[in-house]
Amino acid sequence: MSSLKDRYLKQVDVDEVLLDASNIPAFNHARMEGKRELPIHRYSIWTVGGIFLAVAVVFWGKIFFLQVVHGEEYRTIADNNSVDKALIIAERGVVYDRRGEMLVWNEVDESGEYDFPIRAYTNRAGLGQVLGYVSYPKKDSRGFFFRTDYLGRSGAELAFDGMLKGQNGSKIVQVDALGEVIGEFAIDAPVSGGAVTLSIDAELSEAMYNIIATSSLQAGFRSGAGAIMDIHTGEILALTSFPSFDPEVMADGDDTALISEYNSDDRLPFLNKVISGAYTPGSIVKPFVAYAALEHGVISPEKVIVSNGYLLVPNPYNPSNPSRFNDWRVQGPMTMREAIAFSSNVYFYIIGGGYGEQPGLGITKMAENYRRFGMGELTGINLAEEQSGVVPDPAWKKEVFDDDWRLGDTYFTAIGQFGFLTTPIQMLRAYAALANGGYLVNPHAELGKQSEKQDIKIDQSLMQIVHEGMRKTVNYDGGTARSLERKDVAIAAKSGTAEVGAGNAYVNSWAAGFWPYEDPQYAFILMMDKAPRSNALGATRIMGDVVDWMSVNRPEYLGIEKTDTLDI
């Protein structure tokens, strides 16, 4: 057997080579005829077998690595990153001012931090509290949205959030096993939010802000605020509060140093002082006391009262020590019109609380009349959270101080002092009612909207006397608002100075009124907060600078034609 095996594997005899030699010419070489096959060598078999074994080991090793070593990890990737339904954040609506200037809009985030539109805000100064800001949609650590909407935080962004908010959409996202996006398919398109057009003139508001800011620095006021309103529709034409903030900084939230500076600023830049600040009004309440005294027949408008600079009230418990109530200067003889123009404290002490044979309104009628004009209550404006303020009366004093009401309290309430607190927006609405024939109109910031009017039943003939006194405040020698006198438009106004702080070391300065005098269209309010008593720059002068700007840049609001030069 072994020899036979060796024969076929190792040797070929000569006769075997020539075995079929006779058939050589007939060989079919294509069918391998005439050739003898040799057996495959064992070395070749082992070589091929080794190659197959190596390939098998590699494949089985890779399978073990994928399924055993990293099996759970790759399974999670496969489960979570194949096909998913993702959210499409809808664009928020754009905000315009009354002249069509874009104040808030959307931009693509160039930094790549957000995969949805971010808010951009105008660079105009003094509009931070008006426009407000938003908080953006938020994702968790795994990249899933847990807050799917922009949130309006303040100002117009909050007040008109329902109009500005869009409707989010969704999409199908296809990814490979490594988490790379390979396709997106929208299945529910987002709907953008609606546009909002404010009644506010942004450039006028900025001009008012800059004038207030410059005046604050010049005279040492802590802060200030102002607003102008259409007395018939309630539309706010201008509104600003100094100091302000940058809404974009608040929306982005990245500049933590500046945000911390805002929060630590004792001038309260986030506070919309027109709406949310409550201040002692001082003498700007005197026209309302004058009207109530006329309506209740307390005094004739032609009756003369003399101010020698103070009023002495006998002290029944200590006759040698009478109570002294000072005027801010010696006024001399005056009727009601001059008393309004001069802002006489003595005159209003007397018609408010009475003196000698002259009766006064008394605190009950006085407080009722203040509230009749909307003081001590919310106006309903939605641009900021309002304060209701305080109209002092005996019930309030009993509750707060557990003390009885006294004549001196009535005197001080008649000139806007004591515990009196109002917001500038309340006084703006009150002056609008004083100017428009006796209708309380709720202020708002939406262009074209007409507020409902509340008739507070004013006697126009009596109110005309008050109007004449306010006009004299501007154009009469000794009037306290002479800086508002102009030849291009007639303004009726009232100034106010309220003592505040420990020892009355500081004053708030007010200017309030309306124009044109003959046919009122707009009311205004301007309040400068907490300046030293020595300050000589009042709110009426500051408001005069605002009117100067308007006469050049917005003459249509004053009812005058624009010319190259104006005689002021």
Domain limits of the chain? 1-59, 83-197, 202-558
| Cα separation, 422 vs 390, whole angstroms | 7
Query: How far apart (Å, rounded) are the C-alpha atoms in residues 302 and 32?
Result: 144
pLDDT of residue 175: 62
pLDDT of residue 483: 96
Q: Does domain 83-197 have CATH number 3.90.1310.10?
A: yes
Question: What's the pTM?
Answer: 0.83
The whole-number pLDDT of residue 566 equals 45
Q: CB–CB of 245/270 below 8 Å?
A: yes
Q: CA-to-CA distance for 400 and 420, rounded, in angstroms? A: 13
Give the largest Cα separation in the chain, rounded. 168
- 385's tokens: 């959270």
pLDDT value at position 50?
78
Q: What is the pLDDT of residue 10?
A: 54
Position 567 scores a pLDDT of: 47
Distance CA 93, CA 88 (A): 16
**∠ at Cα 8 (5, 11), nearest 5°?**
115
Q: What is the predicted pLDDT for the residue at 7? A: 53
State the Cα torsion 552-553-554-555 to the nearest 10°: 20
**Homologous superfamily assigned to 202-558:** DD-peptidase/beta-lactamase superfamily (3.40.710.10)
Residue 176: what pLDDT? Answer: 63
Q: For the chain, which residues score pLDDT lower than 50?
A: 21, 565-568
